[in-house]
């Protein structure tokens, strides 16, 4: 197996992307760490990363970043699609514009990046595309319907893409973390519709509280755990289609499958009071 080559990572300003860039660079890999702005990216430069501006909602920005890597390295050897955005809250209460922005980042951005790097990978008959999904791509929790929908989409796209590009020497790998202790949930909760007196006010508040408590509990993993898993995936001679990170990511889909739809709904009602329930 050839090495991972030049590694291009999206969403490196914090959290999983930052930890992954730091870990891979520390292991001697050629890493291009990207974010919507270079502000605050100096520590990654000090860690040995090359930093670039890349906004996955801006086609010109994506093309320019890929062109830079290809100009300097010949091709992107490994793409880590990590940039993410979450909107939490009841589906009826979330604005369509917010859901559209979420899909632009979490789905269309991933697809566009894959389309941009694949010609170079096919030309060399080698490459890896790592899509950072979530346990939410397997199990939908209260208040996470829109976010889970974007991750379910990535799961489906990854399965199709893996089949389509394997003959060109390209592997497609999905990473499924459980809750990870980053600023991600805080950002998602900040976007929850604020209408305390509305039909979903108490529900949205309960969702935000539960998510925040989970991220601070022993159940939440660390970004470094995901980074270590990504490194294992891109350096394996025969990578698995999926890697799950944290016990929740491994156990929750099993619980969902065992209980079935009605049983899992009943379980969720013990965790959060549904809207409209007396």
Q: Helices (DSSP H) in the chain: which residue ranges?
A: 15-26, 42-46, 59-73, 96-103, 109-124, 145-165, 184-190, 201-216, 223-235, 247-269
200 is catalytic: no
- Phi/psi of residue 3, each to 5°? -70, 180
Q: How far is CA 135 from CA 32, 124, 149, 167, in A?
A: 27, 33, 12, 28
How does pLDDT run across 44-53, given as a tens digit for each residue? 999 999 999 9
Tell me how far apart the alpha carbons of residues 84 and 10 are, in angstroms, rounded to a whole number: 9
83-115 as b/e: b if 16+ CB within 10 A:
bbbbbbbbeebbeeebbeebebbbbbbbbbbbe
pLDDT band, very low/low/confident/very high, at 198 (cuts 50, 70, 90): confident
pTM: 0.92
Residue range 48-75: average pLDDT?
97
Greater confidence (186 vs 249) lies with 249
Residue range 202-216: average pLDDT?
85
Mean pLDDT (the chain) is 92
Residue indicated by tokens 């739809």:
261
Which DSSP category does 167 fall into? G
Which of 13-17, 167-171, 201-205 comes out lowest in average pLDDT?
A: 201-205
- The answer to whether the CB of 180 falls within 8 A of the CB of 187 is no
Residues 260, 263, 265, 267: what is their CA dihedral angle, to the nearest 10 degrees?
-130
Per-residue pLDDT at 234 exceeds 50: yes
Q: List 242's β-bridge partners, or say none.
A: 174
pLDDT value for 61: 97
* Catalytic residue, candidates 32, 85, 110, 147: 147
Greater confidence (219 vs 116) lies with 116
Q: Does domain 7-269 have CATH number 3.40.50.720?
A: yes
Percent of the chain with pLDDT over 70: 94
- The answer to whether the CB of 144 falls within 8 A of the CB of 99 is no
Residues 114, 225, 27, 131: what is their CA dihedral angle, to the nearest 10 degrees?
0
């Amino acid at each position: 197996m050839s090495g991972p080559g030049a590694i291009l990572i999206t969403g490196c300003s914090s959290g999983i992307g930052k930890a992954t860039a730091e870990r891979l660079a520390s292991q001697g890999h050629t890493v291009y760490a990207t974010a919507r702005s270079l502000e605050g990216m100096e520590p990654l430069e000090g860690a040995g990363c090359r930093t670039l501006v890349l906004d996955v909602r801006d086609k010109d920005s994506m093309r320019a970043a890929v062109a830079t890597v290809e100009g300097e390295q010949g091709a992107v050897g490994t793409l880590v699609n990590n940039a993410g955005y979450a909107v939490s809250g009841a589906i009826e209460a979330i604005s369509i514009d917010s859901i559209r922005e979420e899909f632009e980042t979490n789905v269309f951005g991933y697809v566009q990046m894959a389309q941009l790097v694949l010609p170079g990978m096919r030309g060399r008959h080698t490459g890896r595309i790592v899509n950072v999904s979530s346990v939410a791509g397997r199990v939908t929790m209260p208040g996470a319907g829109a976010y889970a929908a974007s991750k379910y989409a990535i799961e489906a796209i990854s399965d199709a893409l893996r089949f389509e590009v394997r003959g060109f020497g390209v592997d497609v790998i999905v990473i499924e973390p459980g809750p990870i202790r980053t600023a991600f949930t805080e950002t998602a909760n900040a976007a929850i519709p604020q209408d305390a007196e509305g039909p979903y006010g108490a529900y949205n508040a309960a969702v935000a509280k539960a998510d925040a408590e989970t991220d601070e509990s022993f159940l939440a993993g660390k970004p470094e755990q995901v980074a270590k898993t990504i490194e294992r995936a891109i350096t394996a001679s025969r990578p698995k289609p999926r890697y799950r990170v944290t016990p929740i990511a491994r156990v929750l889909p099993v619980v969902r499958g065992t209980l079935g739809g009605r049983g899992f709904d009943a379980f969720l009602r013990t965790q959060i009071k549904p809207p409209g329930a007396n």
